[in-house]
Amino acid sequence: PNVCAVQKLIGTNRKYFTNCKQWYQRKICGKSTVISYECCPGYEKVPGEKGCPAALPLSNIYETLGVVGSATTQLYSDRSNLRPEIEGPGSFTIFAPSNEAWASLSAETLDSLVSNVNIELLNALRYHMVNKRVLTDELKHGTTLNSMYQNLPIQIHHYPNGIVTVNCARLLKADHHATNGVVHVIDKVIATTTNSIQQIIETEESLETLRAAVAASNLNSLLESEGQYTLLAPTNEAFEKIPQETLNRILGDPEALKDLLNHHILKSAMCAEAIIAGLTMETLEGTTLDVGCSGEDLTLNGKPIIANKDILATNGVVHFVNELLIPDSAKTLFELAQESEVSKSMDLFRQAGLSSHLTGNERVTLLAPVNDAFKDGNPPVDSYMKNLLLNHIVRDQLSSKYLYHGQKLQTLGDKELRVFVYRNNLCIENACIAAHDKRGRFGTLFSMDKMLTPPSGSVMDVLKADHRFSTLVAAIQSAGLMETLNRPGTFTVFAPTNEAFRAMPQGELNKLMGNAKELANILKFHIADEILVSGAVGALVRLKSMQGDKLEVSVKNHVIHINKEPVAESDIMATNGVIYAVNSVLQPQASRPQERGDEPADPALEIFKQASALSTVKDK
């Protein structure tokens, strides 16, 4: 009973008095803690008994200070003539700095406090006091308490991880009861706060550039207003690290500048002492920043860039940062691409002379293939490639969450691209989106899994233009399906190559070519009335063929299979569908030959084989 756990941070004198909610996985800022146990405030051990069963008699605040590890505060209250008040009647709360807190003050500060006929010291101590008893469960987040020094406010923050701060000093030991009040031990000597965040910016020399930026974007009134904000204030040095061209562009663009500054303002006051592990905080811009810590360093997005922390203001807290945090919404497409895996395709856009579209104020969406799409090396940038790259730039700034199935997108190369929405993927023509889009100032970056190939004609146009499909084209004409595959639609065609027909017995092929109805039936089994690009194929997709039976499309070792047969080529795009080249003729269930060799073969197959032999002669 009445035992409290203490987590001590190895290598420091920092302690965390832990309750059940606050084990923090036994790590503080990534460093391990050592657990020790001691009697809770107001209790002591009894020989032979478990825990700390004996309650200590209560004494006044002055005497309690000596018991709780705040003997220096006790000494200074004696020296400043505060002692009679905290020994006498009343009901007070004192936030008593620990002995280490007093020792960490600079000699100059301490000297000015204790040498000035003790009035400064008395005022400082009275600022640590409240004229009523306040326990931790009453220390609500974002509230203020009136101190006993000129009623000046003390700011309280009570964070979800259980940590309580008083003017950004951490509450070490809470709720030590005394006959005339309560003592809370804190880890810093706190000072009065009279400046707003805006006034701190105005008086701090190292924030001169920030001061001008805040004035230019009319954020002064916000930073003067009541509220609880955290300003991650970029120093002059932070602005100097940014390329001059980038800085001039942002400072000259009111909207980008406002986004930049709002990205440095968190919606709530965040004291450094409350950060013991990574957490995601929302900025005024609506973006998020990862605020964390590593040892003694505070980190932003994993980098230790906070130079000076916990400068308290009347409306929040300021931390100085020595690196500028530029949000996506203030970046050009080239700047967005620096943080994505698309550097190879960006080189292609540069070489093709298309940079002006990606850095200016034209509203566009860039479909940038990821680096993995160029495993075999970058293609040469000729006139064909330049035109293809123009078709990777879509007019208008889009967001993937608003794209819908069947939507048509216009490119700068005057092509029309289709959007396909699948259960597991979002694709534009044959390429699918590989990462979350990044929305910049004027352009949005979509990372695509491959180079996009815009359609060049209908299914029939594509088949006629490719010599591999001459037998199939003849079969489609014989079966009367030419008109179907020329009209607007959404077809997926598994197109047998000449090689597929050659693999069949000649007699079967001839017979089939002579039977238009049977031929149409077989061909319809190769066509589905919906577009399925390879990126949409998960483990298995079943498509209903125009013949009525189901087609099973699967992927194995990155190769698409149709009815367990590998396809020779995927994603040949047409204006009314997509074509897969297959090296075998697919058979519907009813017309598949029997597996046993003693059964007669299906006559339809003989016809295919004969037609295949004919195609061999034609090809020669």
Convert 103-164 into a string of H (helix), E (strand) and C (coil): HCCCHHHHHHHHHCCCHHHHHHHHHCEECCCCCHHHCCCCEEEEECCCCCEEEEEECCCCCE
Question: Residue 287 above 50 pLDDT?
Answer: yes
Type of residue at 158? H
pLDDT in tens, 14-49: 777 766 555 556 777 778 888 888 888 788 899 999
Question: Is 374 strand, coil or helix?
Answer: helix
pLDDT in tens, 46-103: 999 999 999 889 999 999 999 888 999 999 999 999 999 999 999 999 999 999 999 9
- What pLDDT is stored for residue 604 in this prediction? 45
Question: Residue 273 above 80 pLDDT?
Answer: yes
Burial of residue 278, with CB atoms counted within 10 A of its CB: 0-12 exposed, 13-18 middle, 19 or more buried? middle
Mean pLDDT value of segment 195-210: 95
Q: Which of 192, 225, 259 is the last residue of a domain?
A: 192
- Please indicate, yes or no, whether residues 259 and 317 belong to a single structural domain of this protein: yes
If one counts every other C-beta atom within 10 angstroms of the C-beta of residue 48, the result is 5
Q: Which of 419, 448, 477 is the last residue of a domain?
A: 448
Say how far apart CA 90 and CA 510 lie, in whole Å: 111
Q: Which of 192, 223, 256 is the last residue of a domain?
A: 192
Question: Residue 333 above 60 pLDDT?
Answer: yes
Please identify which residue in the block is written with the tokens 């204030």: 233
- What pLDDT is stored for residue 21 in this prediction? 52
- What pLDDT is stored for residue 431 in this prediction? 96
Mean pLDDT value of segment 583-603: 59
**Is 263 among the domain residues?**
yes
- What pLDDT is stored for residue 616 in this prediction? 47
Q: Which two tokens stand for residue 358?
A: 């990606």
Starting at the edge strand found earlier in the chain, the sheet holding 443-448 runs 393-395, 364-369, 443-448, 438-439
- Please indicate, yes or no, whether residues 21 and 72 belong to a single structural domain of this protein: no
- What pLDDT is stored for residue 620 in this prediction? 44
Say how far apart CA 504 and CA 524 lie, in whole Å: 18
pLDDT in tens, 150-168: 999 999 999 888 889 999 9
Q: Which two tokens stand for residue 588?
A: 């519907």
Say how far apart CA 375 and CA 534 lie, in whole Å: 19
Residue 275, phi then psi, degrees to nearest 5 = -95, 110
Say how far apart CA 488 and CA 44 lie, in whole Å: 87
Say how far apart CA 143 and CA 243 lie, in whole Å: 42
Does 13 or 461 have the greater pLDDT score? 461
Question: Is 398 strand, coil or helix?
Answer: coil
Closest CA to 232 of 205, 207, 196, 195: 207
Closest CA to 260 of 328, 198, 360: 328
Burial per residue of 14-28, b for 16 or more beta-carbon CB atoms within 10 angstroms, e otherwise: bbbbbeeeeebeeeb
pLDDT in tens, 429-457: 999 999 889 999 999 999 999 999 999 89
Say how far apart CA 307 and CA 488 lie, in whole Å: 63
Q: Which two tokens stand for residue 423?
A: 């259960």
- What pLDDT is stored for residue 511 in this prediction? 80
**Is 590 among the domain residues?**
no
Residue 495, phi then psi, degrees to nearest 5 = -95, 110
- What pLDDT is stored for residue 600 in this prediction? 39
Residue pair 306/320 in contact (Cβ under 8 Å)? The answer is: yes
With bands split at pLDDT 50, 70 and 90, how would you rate the model's confidence at 597?
A: very low
Residue pair 495/463 in contact (Cβ under 8 Å)? The answer is: yes
Total domains, the chain: 5
Say how far apart CA 193 and CA 449 lie, in whole Å: 54
> Torsion angle, CA of 598/599/602/605, rounded to 10 degrees?
-10
- Residue 86: its H or E element: helix 83-87
- Please indicate, yes or no, whether residues 150 and 261 belong to a single structural domain of this protein: no
Say how far apart CA 42 and CA 450 lie, in whole Å: 69
- Please indicate, yes or no, whether residues 178 and 61 belong to a single structural domain of this protein: yes
Say how far apart CA 443 and CA 361 lie, in whole Å: 8
- What pLDDT is stored for residue 601 in this prediction? 43
Say how far apart CA 196 and CA 204 lie, in whole Å: 12
- What pLDDT is stored for residue 116 in this prediction? 64
Using only the alpha carbons of the chain, give its radius of gyration.
37
**Is 108 among the domain residues?**
yes
In this predicted structure, which of 251-260, 403-412, 579-588, 601-610 has the lowest mean pLDDT? 601-610
**Is 592 among the domain residues?**
no
List beta partners, residue 8: 15, 34
- Please indicate, yes or no, whether residues 258 and 351 belong to a single structural domain of this protein: no
Please identify which residue in the block is written with the tokens 């690196």: 323
- Please indicate, yes or no, whether residues 79 and 182 belong to a single structural domain of this protein: yes
Mean pLDDT value of segment 132-140: 94
- What pLDDT is stored for residue 606 in this prediction? 45
Burial of residue 408, with CB atoms counted within 10 A of its CB: 0-12 exposed, 13-18 middle, 19 or more buried? exposed
pLDDT in tens, 530-553: 999 999 998 889 999 999 999 999
Query: 254-262 vs 208-216: helix axis angle to the nearest 10?
Result: 120
Mean pLDDT value of segment 223-228: 90
Q: Which residues, including other chains, have CB under 8 Å from residue 401's CB and lie 6 or more apart?
A: none
With bands split at pLDDT 50, 70 and 90, how would you rate the model's confidence at 406?
A: very high
- Please indicate, yes or no, whether residues 464 and 574 belong to a single structural domain of this protein: yes
Does 12 or 409 have the greater pLDDT score? 409
pLDDT in tens, 455-469: 989 999 999 999 999
- Please indicate, yes or no, whether residues 88 and 161 belong to a single structural domain of this protein: yes
- The percent of residues above 90 in pLDDT, for the chain, comes to 67
Question: Residue 369 above 70 pLDDT?
Answer: yes
Closest CA to 445 of 356, 341, 353, 351: 341
Question: Residue 590 above 80 pLDDT?
Answer: no
**Is 21 among the domain residues?**
yes
The per-residue pLDDT of the chain, averaged, comes to 89
- Please indicate, yes or no, whether residues 187 and 226 belong to a single structural domain of this protein: no
Does 614 or 368 have the greater pLDDT score? 368
- Please indicate, yes or no, whether residues 164 and 136 belong to a single structural domain of this protein: yes
- Please indicate, yes or no, whether residues 66 and 183 belong to a single structural domain of this protein: yes
Type of residue at 402? Y
Mean pLDDT value of segment 296-312: 87
**Is 587 among the domain residues?**
no
- What pLDDT is stored for residue 607 in this prediction? 43
- Please indicate, yes or no, whether residues 62 and 187 belong to a single structural domain of this protein: yes
Q: Which two tokens stand for residue 469?
A: 């499909």
Tell me, what DSSP letter sits at residue 379? P
**Is 14 among the domain residues?**
yes
**Is 306 among the domain residues?**
yes
Closest CA to 571 of 557, 584, 559: 559
- What pLDDT is stored for residue 24 in this prediction? 55
- What pLDDT is stored for residue 591 in this prediction? 55
In this predicted structure, which of 190-194, 294-298, 481-485 has the lowest mean pLDDT? 294-298
pLDDT in tens, 520-532: 999 999 999 999 9
Q: Could you tell me the residue range of the domain that residue 249 belongs to?
A: 202-325
Question: What CATH number does the domain containing 508 carry?
Answer: 2.30.180.10
